[in-house]
Every structure is written in C-alpha cells, then in structure tokens.
Amino acid sequence: MVAIHRLVGFVVVAVFSVGWVWGLVAAIARRGPGERYWTWLTVEQVVAGIQALIGVVLLLMDRRPTTWLHLVYGFGPLLIFAIGHALAREVQRDGQQGPPIAPWVVFAAAAFISFGLSGRALMTGLGIG
C-alpha cells in the first residue's frame, strides 16, 4: 500500500504541474484554457482525493509518516481547492466591481500552490529534505 501511495504521489504532482503550466500558458496567450481544462480539474480532484484516501488508510493501518508536515502538505491541496471553488464562485458572482477574474485563473493558482504542497509531501515521504 505504501508503494501505491508513493506512485500516486508522483501522479498527483504531475497532474498539478499540468494545471498551473496550462493556466500560465493560457494567461500569456491572453485567452482561456479551453473546455478540456475543466476535465483536467475533475481528474485532478479525483486523483488528489484518491491519494488522500490511500493516506487515511495507511494512517488507519498505523503507517504514520516520519514527520507531521507530510500530513499538512498532503491534505493541504484538498483545502486549497475547496477554497478555490468558493473563490471562483465569488469572483464570478461579483464581477461587477473591477475587472472580472475568470474562474480558471483561480484554479490555475490553486494548482500552483498545490503543486508545491504535494511536491513537498512527496519529498518528505521519500525522505528527501
């Protein structure tokens, strides 16, 4: 089970990196990322949820990480994306005050933060740094 958690950890980091790079390229090109971006968002959330579920199963099996920061880094992206959903709804609703922010920009930023958090979680899980 630990090996599966490690493998999915690499996948999570890769999926988050796709999201923020995709958003960055769309921002530089000054156009939206397209409809497939929303498919990415769904896949990302499912993969992150599966990874968290595997982590909870490992905790229940008394396989604790070597540092409590692994838990913060590992569960942080779930919180970041929950905040991202609330913020994306809010900026869409309150677009009348100032320049509107597209919801995908919020999720690209959330992917960037989550990329860092999940990358750090992977590093602590692998015993690096």
DSSP result, 42-67: HHHHHHHHHHHHHHHHHHHTT---SS
Position 70 scores a pLDDT of 84
Nearest to 106 by CA among 83, 124, 128, 129: 83
In which residue are the tokens 């990874």 written?
A: 51
Task: Please state the separation of Cα 115 from the chain's center in Å.
Answer: 6
Position 57 scores a pLDDT of 94
What confidence category does residue 128 fall into, taking pLDDT thresholds of 50, 70 and 90? confident
Which tens digit of pLDDT belongs to each residue from 48-98? 999 999 999 999 999 888 788 888 888 999 999 999 999 988 877 765 666
Q: Could you give the CA distance from residue 32 to residue 47 in angstroms, rounded to a whole number?
A: 24
